Each structure stands twice: as C-alpha cells, then as structure tokens.
Amino acid sequence: MTGIIILDKPKNITSFGAVARVRRICSEKKCGHTGTLDPMATGVMTVMLGNTTRFTELLPSHDKAYVASFRLGTITDTLDITGTVLETRQVNSTADDVEAALKCFEGEISQLPPMYSAVSVNGQRLYELARKGIEVERKPRSVTVYSIEMLSRSEESGEYEIAVECSSGTYIRTLIADLGEKLGCGAVLTELRRTKANGFSIENAVTLEQLEAAANDGTLDSIVTPIDRALEGYPVIRVSAAQAKRFSNGGELDLQRLKYPRMLGLFRIYDPENNFIGLGEIGTGDSLGVKRVYKGE
C-alpha cells in the first residue's frame, strides 16, 4: 500500500507506537512519520506508507499548528505536566500580563531543545540521556512563531489555552517554559494537540479505531491520501508517454521538448493519463533531472 495516512494520534502512545499500529493495520512494512509527537500529545501525524517514504524530506510544507494548554506557577523536569515537579512559585501575573508576554514570542525566536526530546547529540537521543540523569550542552535553534492566539484564560486558576502557528522544529513545551520564565512564575504544558502539519488539518485526520474499521470493511483505500496531494506546493510538468517511461527509468528529459514554467526548482511530473510519476528538478542546465521516482504499486 502506498500513500499517506493523516492520523489523529491518541494520547499516551509514542509516535513510534502509533506508526507501528498503522503498519499492522495497513499490512505495510515500510512506514514512517514526518514529525514526532510526545506521548501526552494528540493530533495530526502524517504517516507515509510504502514508496511514499522516499518523499518525506521533500514535502514542501513543514509548518505546524497547535492548541496548547498550560498552567502558571509550576516547573517540571520535562517542561510538561508528566514530569517531576522541580519547583512551584507564586503567581502574580494577570491574564493581560500573560497575553502581552505571549506577543513577545511571535516572529523569529531562539529555542534551546529540551533534554526530553528526540534530538540527537553525538549519536544519542537527548531523552535517553535525560532518563539516565545526564544533561548535556545543547545549541539554541532559530524557529519562527507565526502567530499566537489566546483561546481561553483563567486568572484565578492560572490556566490558559492558546493556538500557535509555527515552523517545523518549534517546541511548544519550551515556548511555555520560556513564557513562564519571562513572567517570573514558571509555567508547564498541560495539554497539547497538533491541529495542522504538512498542509493537512485535523479535519483530514482519522483515528486508529477508524483506520481499523476501514481495514476490516475493505474501505482502507478511501482513507489513504495520494502522495502528490502533499506535494501540491510544487508546480506541474506534463510529459508524453515516452518521456514518462524514460523519466521513470531514471533518465533526464530535454527541456527543449517540454512545456514548463520558466523557473528553477522541483516539479511534479505527470504522464498523459494524469498519473503522478515523481518529482523532477530543473537546475541551471538544459534538462529535467530525476529527483524522486514514484512507484505506486
């Protein structure tokens, strides 16, 4: 089976575990996802099936959107509510203070990856080191927060809910922890739901239970999204049957024999029957080179 499953990942399961469930349900050995979600987090996870896994790093959109809940006055080792409480502080910030502070995190910001994360340092995952009580030096990363919107606020309880749109690599746990430090009272993430990833929204997603039901009643194909749907950010070039065969076999195509937008970069390539056959790349030369060939079978 080839294509994409837009999964609504359930709570209290790792991303690896969620992909393993999809692999079993779809009877497809080759599966991968495009972005880790913590076990406590739910929401959109883009799962690549079969030969679509070769396109993972070429997806044009890696931006994400989340709905996050947090509580002021608490600091944990994991930066979320599942961790060990390290400190509690008095909260003097008003709801207006919180909203004003949040605006300071919009735009390009620097984040230090949390120790409890899947980032690798010297070949080891940070979370593996953290579980052993080892903390290592990490380099800050630049990420972009496009917008932060307050969805609900309770000054009395110190609990808030926000919607965040951001670039790939943004840690919402770190964003909340940094907000807490800015306010001086600390803060901890209590709920996280990813609502958008790779151009797909939560409305496109299916649960593991829905996926299992579709497999049982033979309608699984209706849930699988074609890979070119995720590549719609790239322009299209249509080729002849002979050119499609050459391209699929790894051969470059002469630009003089193609109708194409006069621009460089990656393109979706389709045969005369409008079947997607792969991604091609036009550089500074005179040919359309093969970037990735798609084998749907």
Ranges of each domain in the chain: 3-59+202-229, 64-197, 236-293
pTM for this entry:
0.89
Give residue 260's pLDDT: 85
Written as six digits, the tokens of 242 are 């002979």
Residue with tokens 């959107």: 65
Whether residue 155 is predicted with pLDDT greater than 80 in this model: the reply is yes
Tell me what percent of the residues of the chain surpass a pLDDT of 70: 91
Q: Are strands 74-76 and 236-238 parallel, antiparallel or unpaired?
A: unpaired
Q: Output the DSSP codes for 28-39.
A: -S-EEESS---T
54-87, pLDDT tens digit by residue?
899 899 888 999 999 999 999 999 999 999 999 9
- Mean of per-residue pLDDT scores for the chain: 91
Written as six digits, the tokens of 178 are 């940094």
102-144, pLDDT tens digit by residue?
999 999 999 987 756 666 666 666 666 556 666 666 688 899 9
User: 41: which DSSP letter?
Assistant: -
- Separation CA 4–CA 195 (nearest Å): 17
- List, in order, residues 6 or more apart from 134 with CB less than 8 Å away: none
Apex 297 CA angle, 201 and 278, nearest 5: 65
198-253, pLDDT tens digit by residue?
999 999 999 999 999 999 999 999 999 999 999 999 999 999 999 999 999 999 99
Size of the chain, expressed as the number of residues it contains: 297
Nearest to 162 by CA among 202, 195, 207: 195
| CATH classification number, 64-197, choose in 3.40.50.2300, 3.40.50.1000, 3.30.2350.10, 3.40.50.10490 | 3.30.2350.10
29, 23 Cβ separation under 8 angstroms = yes
Q: Can you name the CATH fold of 3-59+202-229?
A: Pseudouridine synthase (3.30.2350)
Active-site residue among 38, 80, 178, 228?
38
- Separation CA 214–CA 275 (nearest Å): 25
Strand partners of residue 80: 189
Q: Can you name the CATH fold of 236-293?
A: 2.30.130
Give residue 112's pLDDT: 85
Written as six digits, the tokens of 238 are 């249509």
Q: Can you say how many angstroms the Cα of residue 33 is from the centroid of all Cα atoms in its chain?
A: 8
Give residue 124's pLDDT: 67
Whether residue 297 is predicted with pLDDT greater than 60 in this model: the reply is no
Nearest to 110 by CA among 145, 139, 142: 142
270, 239 Cβ separation under 8 angstroms = yes
205, 72 Cβ separation under 8 angstroms = no
- Same fold for the domain at 64-197 and the one at 236-293? no
Question: What's the pLDDT band for 32 if we cut at 50, 70, 90?
Answer: very high
Going from the C-alpha of 161 to that of each of 45, 56, 153, 187, 189, the distances in angstroms are 21, 31, 7, 12, 10
156-209, pLDDT tens digit by residue?
999 999 999 999 989 999 999 999 999 999 999 999 999 999 999 999 999 999
Active site residue 38: yes
